[in-house]
Structure 1
């Protein structure tokens, strides 16, 4: 009985490594899209010239890509809610945590939920 309650509230935080990589990448992407004039391109090593080229030649595409990335995260978050229901995660707090974590970190979170295999109770 305790197992079913535990499964209803299942939540697992994702990898700190991937969350750091994603947070830094999305932070940099945000900076490039909204404040490209403030980026110290010459101080970024090989990333500097690449970023400068993208800003100078493809800024509109980058802006659209930025919003597309967030739209994909919204879709992943909504799918996480479907998976919660399908996998028996009915605790509201656990569902909210999955939604927020997946919105912020995308597939790094969603892959954990996809891999989760709840124990199915045998019907007698």
Structure 2
């Protein structure tokens, strides 16, 4: 892997990378569809959704409580991931408050698509002289 000079000199206390577009889009669309199914199931055009339509209709008709609880569980998991991101920031030496807020918000909205970037980050350790 080739690293640019600007990357080598970058301040490790302010490390932030935006989540990749594709996984973020999948997460956002999935949570959006989940919210639509839970809060406005009567407005869904089931017949226009291909194989997803009858499956969603079945879940709404027969397992609505499971859907509703699953929706809130998904958001609870995102909160947990966001709190874990804060712990990782501290562990990895990311102390800039604005950057930590960005990690928290991005992980809250996009989950593992964001958290995986922070987990993979390996900060350069300062040499003690």
**Normalising TM by the smaller chain, what interval?**
over 0.9
Pairing 1:115–2:120 present? yes
Show CA shifts across 1:44-103 (max 9, x none): 000000000000010000100000000010011001000000000000110000000000
1:4 Cα offset (Å): 7.5
Which residue of the other structure, out of 63, 77, 83, is the alignment partner of 2:82? 77
Which residue of the other structure, out of 4, 29, 37, is the alignment partner of 1:24? 29
TM-score by length of 1: 0.95
Give the aligned length: 123
Pairing 1:55–2:63 present? no
Which runs of no fewer than 5 residues in structure 2 stay unpaired? 1-5
TM-score by length of 2: 0.92
Which runs of no fewer than 5 residues in structure 1 stay unpaired? none
Show CA shifts across 1:32-54 (max 9, x none): 00000100000000000000000
1:5 Cα offset (Å): 6.5
Post-superposition, which runs of at least 4 consecutive aligned residues in structure 1 deviate over 4 A?
A: 2-5
Query: Residues of 2 paired with 1:80 and 1:20: CA distance?
Result: 20
Which residue of the other structure, out of 77, 100, 109, is the alignment partner of 2:105? 100
| CA-based RMSD | 1.4
